[in-house]
Structures are given as structure tokens and as C-alpha cells.
């Protein structure tokens, strides 16, 4: 990435502020609607471009779940997620990342492990109460 690309522009600052203020792991469309309130003439393409740059800069994370659209996470450090099978909401799990598992795989395989990503699936509290 070129150096000019790593500057924190007004647009990037706004996107980052919005992502840091929510725990919902929103889509680009949702972020677009929020940013428009502050920067009315911004385009969805610009939102996508800046989200990708923020991911490359390590300021945010992108969560791709198979065929569905990407969600964005304002917490850049590795952490686990719980995804509700019924409503699709994504929750942060406040538990430590399992480094023992990474060490185990490093020992048992020829691979050099840098990190891992794990998602847990089931029913959120709200959906349990509905059922």
C-alpha cells in the first residue's frame, strides 16, 4: 500500500468512529447510511474503498460468512464471535483467544501459525425466548 493511502482522511475517521461506536458488526450499507448523515455526498463505492483500506491498515476487521455479505468489526484485535442461526446477529465473545490450540497445531503440523478465527453458532438469548 502506498504511503498516501495510509492517511486518516475525514471519510476514514468518520467510518472508524461509527464502527467503534457499535457492537452490531454492521454491513457496508448500514455504515453508508450512517456516514451520509455527516458527509451527505459520499458514495457507496467510496465507503467500500475506505473500508478495504481500513482493513489493510489493521484498524478494523472484515467478517466474511460464506455467501452472505461482509460485516465489519471496529475491534481490530483477534476475538471470537457467536452467530445466531435464527436472527443472524453477530456477538463478540468475551473469552481469551486459545493460544494453546495454535501451539498444538504448530507442534503437530509443518505449518507456521499466526492466528486463527473461530465462530460459534446457536440461538441468541432473544431467539431462545421466542422459541
Binding site for Zn ion (CB under 5 A): 84, 86-87, 124, 127
Mapping DSSP to helix (H, G, I), strand (E, B) and coil, where does residue 69 land? coil
What distance in Å separates the CA atoms of residue 131 and residue 122, rounded to the nearest whole number?
13
- Cβ distance 93 to 80 under 8 Å? yes
Residue closer to Zn ion, measured from CB, 65 or 104: 65
Q: Which residue has 503440523 as its cell numbers?
A: 109
Residue closer to Zn ion, measured from CB, 109 or 131: 131
Residue closer to Mn ion, measured from CB, 45 or 122: 122
- Cβ distance 128 to 117 under 8 Å? no
Query: What is the closest distance, in whole angstroms, from the C-beta atom of residue 55 to Mn ion in the complex?
Result: 13
* Residue 87 contact among Zn ion, Mn ion, none, beta carbon within 5 to 8 Å by kind: Zn ion
Binding site for Mn ion (CB under 5 A): 73, 75, 92
Amino acid at each position: 500500500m502506498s504511503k498516501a493511502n495510509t492517511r486518516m482522511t475525514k471519510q476514514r475517521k468518520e467510518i472508524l468512529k461509527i464502527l467503534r461506536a457499535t457492537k452490531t458488526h454492521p454491513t457496508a450499507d448500514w455504515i453508508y447510511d450512517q456516514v451520509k448523515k455527516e458527509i451527505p455526498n459520499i458514495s457507496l463505492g467510496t465507503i467500500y474503498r475506505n473500508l478495504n483500506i481500513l482493513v489493510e491498515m489493521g484498524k478494523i476487521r472484515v467478517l466474511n460468512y460464506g455467501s452472505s455479505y461482509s460485516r465489519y468489526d471496529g475491534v481490530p484485535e483477534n476475538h471470537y464471535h457467536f452467530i445466531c442461526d435464527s436472527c443472524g446477529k453477530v456477538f463478540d465473545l468475551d473469552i481469551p483467544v486459545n493460544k494453546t490450540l495454535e501451539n498444538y497445531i504448530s507442534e503437530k503440523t509443518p505449518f507456521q501459525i499466526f492466528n486463527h478465527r473461530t465462530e460459534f453458532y446457536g440461538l441468541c438469548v432473544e431467539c431462545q425466548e421466542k422459541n
